[in-house]
A and B are shown apart, each in its own frame.
Chain A
């Protein structure tokens, strides 16, 4: 059972790695003057500032946290 689980994890890891590698390889370089859409305020690869309290209560009410530039434990009486 344990071996089966480990094999599944390895397969998932390989699949994620391959998707990530394929994505990076298939990129076409974008010049600064071509970034008008990418520079739009809502295209930022980050949480919106208005989500601040939302992320905070999620870290209190749920067991998981982190990998979202928010709190990932510590600093408050949350998990």
Chain B
């Protein structure tokens, strides 16, 4: 009887040992090789602006513009036989804008063909992540189409984590091959064209760039990223409907150099304070060979009201010098080699402030399990030259 009791206890201990948790990671964990849905994002925005320095009318006139944009992104993934994760990201965006200044490309028309346009931009990206090696490879392509602009984009990217998985270097090479219709102001056109006709001459604009970053975890609350882009552009870098009025009263469209090299360098720092507050900081210094220097500072504080809801007020400050080729309305000389009256390239400072709210309830928004996040954000933007704008955006995430 005693032997039998010991045998039963021994068997029980054996069974407990067999079914107890194993602290070693399970390297044979099954991962489906079928394509699975990861998440979908719907982003919608309403943007409106006003000002009195439109480039279409030579640096004077209304900058009134409204834009409604919608994009949907679908992310899928699968695992291959080597345990690498393949992610497929498809996105389709549609923007529709109305612009008072674009309407004046044809200054004789009231509500001309160019007063509104729609931009459609699909893209597809693939990444392959090898968790064992800490590497990621990827490639992607994009198209952007609007009536006077067609763009084809491509990119390849690579990322490698450090040995202790606390740092990551990433690099991306990208290109955009663009083609634009040269729609001149109506009074400067030569030859026959229809209002939305096919007889416009065209010009090319090519962009080649590299984007590099290094991110580092400093401790359990702080992480940083250093960012560097180098961009080379060539081709027609102005816009054909930007008028310039010279000091002798003559009129032409803006003329800018055929190449541009941009070198922005950035820094990000995110810090988790206590249990409920996250500070997000971003700074960028930008310089290009057209003589433009700029500084951008962005600060945001996310306050978690509950573990599933946060409010994020933000403030952005931006300052830039003018490009070498800028002068206001009727101040350029006809002997200037390059000229523009586009106030986006003038000297100014801008400020933007606003707030966002983010909800991620564990049972889903309105109890809908797959609707995992709702984020709303409003911002008000002002430039020192009087231009101002408002933007309201929404992001819905489904998992």
Contacts and interface: CB of A to CB of B under 8 A. Distances in A.
A27 B217 contact: yes
Contact of A42 (B288, B312, B395): B312
A26 B49 CA distance: 45
Chain A contact residues, majority secondary structure: loop
Given A43-B272, A54-B391, A75 B302 contact: no
A4 interface: no
B233 interface: yes
Contact of B375 (A28, A40, A50, A65): A50
Contact of A64 (B165, B224, B294, B302): B294
Interface in A34-79: 34-35, 37-38, 40-45, 48-54, 56-58, 60-69, 72-77, 79
Contacts of B262: 64-66, 72-73
A56 B219 CA distance: 33
B394 interface: yes
A6 interface: no
B282 to A, nearest CB: 7
A52 B292 CA distance: 24
B127 to A, nearest CB: 14
B32 to A, nearest CB: 23
Contact of A53 (B233, B272, B393): B393
B24 to A, nearest CB: 15
B377 A43 contact: no
Interface stretch (B5-13, B103-111, B142-150): B142-150
A73 B175 CA distance: 10
A32 B376 CA distance: 31
B391 A76 contact: no
Nearest to B373: A41
A39 to B, nearest CB: 10
A45 B344 contact: no
B52 interface: no
Contact of A74 (B215, B233, B377): B233
Interface in B354-389: 356, 358, 360, 375-377, 379, 381, 383, 387, 389
A74 B219 contact: no
A54 B121 CA distance: 17
Max count, chain B CB within 10 A of own CB: residue among A34, A52, A67, A74: A67
Contacts of B166: 27, 29-30
Contacts of B175: 74
A interface bracket (residues with beta carbon within 8 Å of B)? 35 or more
B394 A50 contact: yes
Contact of B377 (A37, A38, A48, A60): A48
A24 interface: yes
B272 A51 contact: no
A50 B393 contact: yes
A4 B281 CA distance: 31
Interface stretch (B76-84, B184-192, B205-213): B205-213
B98 interface: no
A72 B148 CA distance: 20
A53 B266 CA distance: 20
B379 A54 contact: yes
A20 interface: yes
B139 interface: no
A61 B121 CA distance: 20
B50 interface: no
A52 to B, nearest CB: 5
13 contacts: A24-B216, A50-B375, A54-B45, A57-B49, A62-B294, A63-B323, A64-B288, A65-B262, A66-B264, A66-B286, A67-B228, A76-B144, A77-B239
Given A67-B264, A75-B144, 9 more contacts: A24-B167, A27-B219, A48-B375, A48-B377, A49-B41, A63-B344, A65-B264, A66-B264, A75-B151
4 smallest beta-carbon distances between A and B, as pairs: A74-B207, A74-B176, A67-B266, A53-B45
